[in-house]
């Protein structure tokens, strides 16, 4: 990837690319946006669902695995949803135990809390940093945990 510099020439080294992209990202992420936090006072507190605090069940774990979408890109560890869905019962039980311990805060797994940012081209002149987008690749097991939490949040009593 090469970027167009202010003088109309193109970058030659990775350092020049980083210089252009860092300037671009500083502008995008450090924009001064005014937020009116008083709107939060207009929200009415809804009923609290105590089910959010229940231990992870094998049933909701298995339902989350079923919901994983095949052929999606893996996270940094290279494990795809296809590999998780292909686990036999014994290995799935081991994974459930790890997820259960994580859910109960008995285990900390740093990789589940870190995403791998990949930069992909959108369209047009690819020397323009605005014509690129980032996608965040997450560990597949962290997606299982997200599916469980999302399912619990969407539960209607």
The model's confidence at residue 6, banded by pLDDT at 50, 70 and 90, is: confident
DSSP 16-85: HHHHHHHHHHHHHHT------GGGGGGPPPPPP-GGGGSPPPHHHHHHHHHHSPTTPPP-TT---HHHHH
Residue 135 main-chain phi, psi, to 5 deg: -120, 145
The model's confidence at residue 157, banded by pLDDT at 50, 70 and 90, is: low
For residue 151, what are its two tokens? Answer: 């399912």
If one compares 44 and 73, the residue with the highest pLDDT of the two is 44
> Rounded to whole angstroms, what are the CA distances from 13 to 6, 10, 30, 128, 149?
15, 10, 26, 16, 44
Question: How do residues 105-140 score in pLDDT, each as one tens digit?
Answer: 998 888 888 888 888 898 888 888 888 888 888 899
By three-state DSSP, how is residue 122 classified? coil
Taking a C-beta distance cutoff of 8 angstroms, is the pair 64, 142 a contact?
no
Kindly tell me if the per-residue pLDDT of 49 is higher than 80. no
> Rounded to whole angstroms, what are the CA distances from 37 to 30, 32, 43, 44?
19, 15, 11, 15
DSSP E strand boundaries for the chain: 116-121, 132-137
For residue 105, what are its two tokens? Answer: 């805060």
- What pTM value is reported for the model? 0.62
């Amino acid at each position: 990837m090469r970027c167009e510099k202010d003088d109309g020439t193109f970058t030659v080294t990775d350092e020049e690319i980083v210089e252009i992209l860092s300037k671009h990202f500083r502008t995008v992420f450090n924009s001064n946006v005014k937020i009116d936090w008083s709107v939060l006072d207009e929200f009415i507190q809804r009923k609290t669902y105590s089910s959010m605090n229940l231990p992870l069940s094998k049933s909701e774990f298995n339902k989350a695995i079923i919901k994983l979408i095949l052929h999606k890109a893996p996270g940094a560890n290279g494990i795809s949803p296809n590999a998780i869905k292909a686990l036999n019962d014994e290995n799935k039980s081991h994974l459930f135990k790890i997820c259960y311990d994580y859910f109960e805060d008995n285990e900390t797994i740093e990789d589940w809390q870190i995403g791998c940012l990949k930069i992909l081209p959108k369209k047009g002149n690819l020397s323009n940093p605005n014509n690129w987008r980032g996608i965040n690749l997450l560990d597949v097991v962290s997606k299982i945990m997200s599916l469980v939490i999302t399912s619990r949040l969407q539960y209607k009593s």
